[in-house]
Structure 1
């Protein structure tokens, strides 16, 4: 028997469902308006109160809806599950030749500073926490982390923490990624040495680590129980005592069966590679143990880790031989001088997946086998050895570097096959290569950087290089190349860095150089270029450094300088030029004479600037318009034939730190306005025809008080102690005169005076004695009159 619902009951049921739906929507709307739970919002605000935020990254942390705050993510139930405050712009650094750190950027710091508030660890639902690359001022790793048992991602890397890891992390058994690194790799040229006589560089290493905190661990037992861990990064964590005191120090790692990435770089690990423990890591894909003290051969058992694709053992004091590891995609073994690598044996078996091979500064046995050209996946190859012709045939080779490896002989004529569209960076610098530059290099049409400097190449530069239209950096310095200025360069419109220093080029500098609008550095130093400097050079809007020194140039300096826009304003950024030239650092070698010394700059920033026209035969006046170059750091016009006065407009060059106008024919006074150049730390005006007083000022007086800046200016006068410098009685400044010479001159002067008085006295009295008595009376009357006059004058004073 069926029953039929009345229309009334259906209407009531429908109203109930609609009412329930509205209630749900109202609750949802209310929740959205209020955001996260009050206790979690209060905890986050308390966490914020312990921090300073120079870049206002936490400016959105206000109001009730904390789920909408920057760096915060909530679950469907409005619980905070993600806090990600990683510094978005961590500073980049490079270590210079004097081991000082230079920042690759000059942007405002975005690091959060302070300490981590305990209130953060009341967020019991949090699963993702990233506080990396901030500054927690060497505070300890918080013990409250143990409360966050739901964490699957924890990144405290490079956050300026200082602590020893014991049990702070023991409860975090759900972790899949753990990053406690307190160091990161930077480009390092601190081991680059150079000789000012030979101008040869020697590069031993290309990277090092910089510490961002101080974290250590006596053992790794705290890793036990983290069976879900897939990524473990401990670079820079001090494990030296663990590896020294414990035979099986890596045993806790062997239990991490799901591990894919293991980074133990720069940990102070000594002894052997713990291969027995690593063999249990059957899913391991990346292993980094670079910059340690392993002092052992590479274990042959590594071949059994078939899942391994990236192995980095750079600068780890390895020794012995290396066997085949054909499953690898990337292999880094550089800077291990005691490691022997037999390339013929190594590539006796195929390496079908190899993309990057870095074996510089190792003991390579034999030459590179021609079979390496069959590795079509190889894109980056850095190795010391002879250059086989087939190396240029790598189908995907992009970065080839053989710099500083004692290579001898010519570049193979067929080095770069036709229509090579892959090679972007070729560095063969600082070797003993000779012969002519092969025209086949023009086939490498994707070249961004070509460095053949510091070799013994002869002949002309092949015109075929004009087809490498993407070239940004062309370094051919310190060879024996000759001929006129290469005309094909007019086609390289992307060129930013041109270095032809120390060759045998002749003829005039062409006018088309002014059309290379991307040119930043042009170095033609120490050649035999002649005639005048083309006025078109002033159209280079981006140029930072012009070095035409030590040539045979004549005529005046171009006077319309307003086109040098980059030199008119001191740049605010602080970017390394190598990164400007290309997306990858290609290296820029620049020799710059500044402050009376030759400087080898392996690091060139966008603020590096200078004009060096010294040691030529330039004539005429120094352009008055030079004063508009406010961003110029160095100006060297010495050893020319310039005349006229020093322009007073130089005082407007507020960025000038080095000024050399010595060995010219400049005349007139030194402008008083020069005393306003607060950054000026080197001044040389010696051997000119300057006259008048040397200006004085609080800063200016500190510049070469010994007078070496003014030697050879006969009519310059100074105001040393006890001397007067005016139009009637000038004390001419001669700093070359030694104290002994002054003493001899004074002795000679007093001797002449004594002789003069003696001759005058006896001559006078002798003649009076022979004359009559009335002459005596006249003489004494004259003496009385002079005495009375002297007394009257003294009384007036």
Structure 2
């Protein structure tokens, strides 16, 4: 072989050296995003980055002291701050809040202003400020100058105002979530989105895009898009088709909650046959279920709920061999449940996880045997239909089932241990408003642990259902109108201690309310139309609703009700006696109070006289009934601050107070 000329070898060496130099430079401009934990060994962060973070921290409100670690020289050890393990540059700032906020949790967030000092973090690739409390401020324009950003999450914070088009400068962005800022963000021009040519995940849920007509061509300029969510964006136009689709990588599309008001077919999204997740609920689509569904052979999750689709699902759904979730709530299928089961794709029978078909006008009986085992079904909801017959025994073979919801149908017959013993994973059982008798052995111990039990109007009695004893994590329990004629067992109050929503009304349950009731977690409790006796104990501190009407409760009203947030107190048709105590004045959230048909006597308490510490301006009573008691005296000061109220009281109470306060024309007394 002939030797290569010397000049040629030198040129080759130079080219290799240049290539290596360029590769090194390319690596140096892309920071290593491997996260460093605070205890990892690393060179201290860049001084300029530390100063930028401290300036950013100074503009924040942090009432819960979520950032106590933000001190000292090495910012790479601070909470939520991650540095490159090679250069020390801050490449990731993750200050995501704790998630959905309610009550005291709303204080466990960051708020205040977002300082432009973040521009000092020019190597930042990841910024997450979601689930915080940046109320009533706009998304800062300067974020569009953080050119290295690949990941930006500003959801659930909640920002207001215009989405800054400067975000279009983030050409490296792969993930963008601006959704769920519920105070109101909007955009009147989304052409800036077309510049995000690397974006794969785009979520703009709830952003007002009502003025945008040609939104689809903009999205079609994003060839790398895999996830697109435009839920509840007030869009009104859904084109029939795209002349040329760039959305060949799109796997998830959610355009639910808009206002398209057109036939379900033709529509541009039916051409995206590579979609795995399609959610088009609540869009005003109408007409028959389209045959185009059968072309979506990659589909895993199909959401069609709350449109105006009519007729049976198409027979070519047999092609959907990857289907795991089918949701078609509140469409008018108007056909046989057996026929629907036969049209589900047999090739995905063992993959199906969710079958959600309430309010679909389905009729007939469930098939006595399934075509194949629904071995992976997690959620079955066929509620609010016209289904009849017995609940088949194969329900008990759905060993992965966590939610069984069959309420508001016409099922009859018996459910026994064979239906339930195999459901180890069951978390929610809803069978209300059927003619079902649940007949199990009194010694049966369920293998499941339920958080929600809804059995209204089923046949459980006459004995108290002992299997409830083993349900110790129930949050919602409804066994009203279930033909129980028995004394409430002591163990039941232990089971009920964790229940927030408890309804046992319209039975013949005897016994007394427990003295430990104040330690229960109840928020709403209905014991009405039973045979409970004894006095009213101190109530749970979180209680807002209590109905004890039509029982045999006796004795005086409590001197301490507890439950400072109580809004509704219904005690009519009992044997409560004595005077109305001043403790009633402390229930400043109370809006409805019914003490009628009891044995109360004396005058109504006068809060101004009997409890000088009570803030009378805080009373909120709107509806009050005191009739059929033995009350007497003048119209009380207790009620003279309730300017928006209507009263139903005894004819022994003087109405003079009403007219003295100018209520003679606005309100009337219903005399007993």
Q: State the TM bucket, normalised to the shorter chain.
A: 0.7 to 0.9
Query: Within 2, Cα distance between the matches of 1:398 and 1:65?
Result: 48
Give the equivalent residue in structure 2 for 1:272.
238
Counterparts in 2 of 1:178 and 1:644: CA distance versus 1, 3 Å: closer
Query: Within 2, Cα distance between the matches of 1:218 and 1:381?
Result: 39
Counterparts in 2 of 1:299 and 1:704: CA distance versus 1, 3 Å: closer
SS at match of 1:276: coil
Q: Give per-residue Cα distances to partners, 1:273-326, cap 9 Å, x unaligned.
A: 575378433332211111223424355886764542111111122234332123
Give the equivalent residue in structure 2 for 1:315.
282
Give the equivalent residue in structure 1 for 2:95.
85
Aligned positions of 1:74-153 closer than 5 A: 74-75=83-84, 76-86=86-96, 88-92=97-101, 104-136=102-134, 139=137, 141-153=139-151
Q: Is the 8 A contact 1:33 1:65 kept in 2?
A: no
After TM superposition, the structure 1 stretch with the greater mean CA deviation from structure 2, 647-656 or 420-429, is 647-656
1:105 positional shift: 4.3
Q: Is the 8 A contact 1:469 1:493 kept in 2?
A: no
Query: Within 2, Cα distance between the matches of 1:169 and 1:493?
Result: 50
Give unpaired runs (5+ residues) of structure 2.
Answer: 1-40, 661-667
Which of residues 272, 276, 284 in structure 1 aligns to 2:250?
284
Counterparts in 2 of 1:105 and 1:298: CA distance versus 1, 3 Å: farther
Give unpaired runs (5+ residues) of structure 1.
Answer: 1-31, 93-103, 185-210, 571-606, 724-733, 739-797
Aligned positions of 1:443-592 closer than 5 A: 443=421, 444-453=423-432, 455-457=433-435, 463=441, 467=446, 469-478=448-457, 483-502=462-481, 504-516=483-495, 518-520=497-499, 521-527=501-507, 529=508, 532-534=510-512, 538=516, 541-542=519-520, 544=522, 545-551=524-530, 553=531, 556-558=533-535, 561=537, 567-568=539-540, 570=541
Q: Is the 8 A contact 1:122 1:147 kept in 2?
A: no
Counterparts in 2 of 1:106 and 1:278: CA distance versus 1, 3 Å: farther
Q: Is the 8 A contact 1:250 1:277 kept in 2?
A: no
State whether structure 2 residue 64 is matched by structure 1 residue 55.
yes
Counterparts in 2 of 1:536 and 1:461: CA distance versus 1, 3 Å: farther
Give the equivalent residue in structure 1 for 2:185.
214
Counterparts in 2 of 1:39 and 1:518: CA distance versus 1, 3 Å: same
Query: Within 1, Cα distance between the matches of 2:223 and 2:154?
Result: 23
Give the equivalent residue in structure 2 for 1:328.
299
Q: Is the 8 A contact 2:43 2:88 kept in 1?
A: no
SS at match of 1:39: helix
Aligned positions of 1:358-377 closer than 5 A: 358-364=327-333, 366-367=335-336, 368-370=340-342, 372=344, 375-377=349-351
Q: Is the 8 A contact 1:393 1:416 kept in 2?
A: no
Q: Is the 8 A contact 1:557 1:623 kept in 2?
A: no
Query: Within 1, Cα distance between the matches of 2:447 and 2:300?
Result: 29
TM, length-normalised to structure 2:
0.75
State whether structure 2 residue 227 is matched by structure 1 residue 227.
no
Which of residues 259, 279, 283 in structure 2 aligns to 1:293?
259
Counterparts in 2 of 1:348 and 1:251: CA distance versus 1, 3 Å: same
Aligned positions of 1:759-774 closer than 5 A: none
Specify which structure has the bigger relative contact order, considering alpha-carbon pairs within 8 angstroms and separated by 6 or more residues. 1
Which of residues 348, 362, 377 in structure 2 aligns to 1:397?
377
Give the equivalent residue in structure 2 for 1:614.
549
Aligned positions of 1:182-197 closer than 5 A: 183=180
Q: Is the 8 A contact 2:391 2:411 kept in 1?
A: no
1:409 positional shift: 1.7
Counterparts in 2 of 1:251 and 1:656: CA distance versus 1, 3 Å: closer
Counterparts in 2 of 1:483 and 1:277: CA distance versus 1, 3 Å: farther
Query: Within 2, Cα distance between the matches of 1:735 and 1:366?
Result: 53
State whether structure 2 residue 80 is matched by structure 1 residue 71.
yes
SS at match of 2:50: helix
Counterparts in 2 of 1:506 and 1:382: CA distance versus 1, 3 Å: same
Give the equivalent residue in structure 2 for 1:345.
315
Query: Within 2, Cα distance between the matches of 1:275 and 1:707?
Result: 59
Query: Within 2, Cα distance between the matches of 1:262 and 1:317?
Result: 20
1:398 positional shift: 1.6
Q: Is the 8 A contact 2:631 2:650 kept in 1?
A: no
1:509 positional shift: 3.9
Query: Within 2, Cα distance between the matches of 1:533 and 1:51?
Result: 55
1:355 positional shift: 1.9
SS at match of 1:169: helix
Q: What RMSD, in angstroms, separates the aligned Cα atoms of the two structures?
A: 4.1
Query: Within 2, Cα distance between the matches of 1:685 and 1:721?
Result: 16
Give the equivalent residue in structure 2 for 1:755.
none
Query: Within 2, Cα distance between the matches of 1:536 and 1:161?
Result: 49
Counterparts in 2 of 1:227 and 1:538: CA distance versus 1, 3 Å: closer
Q: Give per-residue Cα distances to partners, 1:131-174, cap 9 Å, x unaligned.
A: 334455555554434433322222333451422554x1343222
Counterparts in 2 of 1:84 and 1:480: CA distance versus 1, 3 Å: closer
Q: Is the 8 A contact 1:517 1:541 kept in 2?
A: no
Query: Within 1, Cα distance between the matches of 2:585 and 2:136?
Result: 46
State whether structure 2 residue 641 is matched by structure 1 residue 702.
yes
Give the equivalent residue in structure 2 for 1:23.
none
Counterparts in 2 of 1:302 and 1:641: CA distance versus 1, 3 Å: closer
Query: Within 1, Cα distance between the matches of 2:579 and 2:349?
Result: 66
Query: Within 2, Cα distance between the matches of 1:540 and 1:468?
Result: 30
SS at match of 1:435: strand
Counterparts in 2 of 1:67 and 1:401: CA distance versus 1, 3 Å: same
TM, length-normalised to structure 1:
0.65
Q: Is the 8 A contact 1:496 1:518 kept in 2?
A: no
Which one has the largest radius of gyration?
1
Q: Is the 8 A contact 1:667 1:690 kept in 2?
A: yes
Q: Give per-residue Cα distances to partners, 1:741-762, cap 9 Å, x unaligned.
A: xxxxxxxxxxxxxxxxxxxxxx
Q: Is the 8 A contact 1:627 1:651 kept in 2?
A: no
Q: Is the 8 A contact 1:515 1:539 kept in 2?
A: no
Query: Within 2, Cα distance between the matches of 1:34 and 1:481?
Result: 68
SS at match of 2:92: strand
Q: Give per-residue Cα distances to partners, 1:328-358, cap 9 Å, x unaligned.
A: 1111111111x34633514333x33222111
Q: Give per-residue Cα distances to partners, 1:664-691, cap 9 Å, x unaligned.
A: 2233454556756656544544322235
State whether structure 2 residue 313 is matched by structure 1 residue 379.
no
1:557 positional shift: 1.2
After TM superposition, the structure 1 stretch with the greater mean CA deviation from structure 2, 670-679 or 45-54, is 670-679
1:359 positional shift: 0.7
Q: Is the 8 A contact 1:265 1:289 kept in 2?
A: yes
Q: Is the 8 A contact 1:176 1:230 kept in 2?
A: yes
Give the equivalent residue in structure 2 for 1:21.
none
Give the equivalent residue in structure 2 for 1:253.
219
Query: Within 1, Cα distance between the matches of 2:605 and 2:122?
Result: 72
Give the equivalent residue in structure 2 for 1:663.
597
Q: Is the 8 A contact 2:543 2:563 kept in 1?
A: no
Which of residues 354, 357, 363 in structure 1 aligns to 2:323?
354
Q: Give per-residue Cα distances to partners, 1:161-188, cap 9 Å, x unaligned.
A: 422554x13432222222333x37xxxx
